[in-house]
Chain A
Amino acid sequence: DAGITQSPRHKVTETGTPVTLRCHQTENHRYMYWYRQDPGHGLRLIHYSYGVKDTDKGEVSDGYSVSRSKTEDFLLTLESATSSQTSVYFCAIKRGGGTDTQYFGPGTRLTVL
């Protein structure tokens, strides 16, 4: 357990509505990541953050934005949700000390109707 919580754990929304997912960590790690998981695609990086207000794009960033106003929270926003964004979203943190090891949260299942 890396002290990561995600909220909500499940969400059903309609096409065109904005959605924000929250990742919260309790251990003050600098690096945080958002992934999506889809059958046949494994885990794909959406965005990551390397500090407060420091973020960068991953492999599948189109249609997503992120914000990190404090160390413990990393928010993922779908400005106008589409059915192709139906997925399971995972947040991860990287512990310090130069290691690459990432630890994952429990996930958020998002369904866009």
Chain B
Amino acid sequence: GENVEQHPSTLSVQEGDSAVIKCTYSDSASNYFPWYKQELGKGPQLIIDIRSNVGEKKDQRIAVTLNKTAKHFSLHITETQPEDSAVYFCAASGSGAGSYQLTFGKGTKLSVIP
């Protein structure tokens, strides 16, 4: 089955700096890669996603890049703000014979220091 590795597990940045979180996946048939943000005591919230026919996608301060050859994808947050502090999860999906199963990374705790 699919295996998703996520790095780093913790990340501290100064407010205004950029943050980058990286994930690798094992199944070359995976074709959908979402990112979730989870605040304390809440469920994961989808923040951005990308499909394998696209190399990069942006939404305001957030961007995701995908390298299918290397089987890795990254989340980029620019101009970080204290409210960006949360746990971020990457995931991969696509080869589960219609089950639409997601396999998640173990998460990155991002702390933005004011």
A40 cross-chain contacts in B, Cβ below 8 A: 106
Contact among B49, B99, B103 with A101 in the assembled complex (CB-CB below 8 Å): B49
* Cα distance A103–B102 in the bound complex, in angstroms: 11
CB-CB contacts of B24-46 with A at 8 A, as 1s and 0s?
00000000101010000011111
Please report the number of residue pairs spanning A and B whose Cβ atoms sit closer than 8 angstroms.
53
Contact A100:B105 (CB < 8 A) given known A90-B44, A105-B43: no
Chain B binder among A11-19, A42-50, A65-73, A78-86: A42-50
A107 and B43 contact, CB distance less than 8 A: yes
A22 cross-chain contacts in B, Cβ below 8 A: none
- Size of interface on A: residues with Cβ below 8 Å to B: 23
B6 cross-chain contacts in A, Cβ below 8 A: 42
A90 cross-chain contacts in B, Cβ below 8 A: 43-44
Considering only residues 25-52 of chain A, those with a C-beta below 8 Å from chain B are 31, 33, 40-45, 48, 50
- Size of interface on B: residues with Cβ below 8 Å to A: 25
A105 cross-chain contacts in B, Cβ below 8 A: 43
How far is the CB of B56 from the nearest CB of chain A, in Å? 19
How far is the CB of B106 from the nearest CB of chain A, in Å? 4
A106 and B106 contact, CB distance less than 8 A: no
Q: What would be 24 A-B contacts, judged by CB atoms less than 8 Å apart?
A: A42-B104, A42-B107, A43-B89, A43-B91, A43-B102, A43-B104, A48-B99, A50-B98, A56-B99, A59-B1, A94-B100, A100-B32, A100-B34, A100-B94, A101-B34, A101-B46, A102-B34, A102-B46, A102-B100, A103-B46, A104-B36, A104-B43, A106-B42, A106-B43
A interface residues (Cβ-Cβ under 8 A, vs B)? 31, 33, 40-45, 48, 50, 56, 58-59, 90, 94, 100-107
Further 13 A-B residue pairs, CB within 8 A, beyond A102-B102, A106-B43: A42-B6, A42-B106, A43-B89, A43-B91, A45-B103, A48-B99, A50-B99, A59-B1, A100-B34, A102-B34, A103-B46, A104-B44, A105-B43
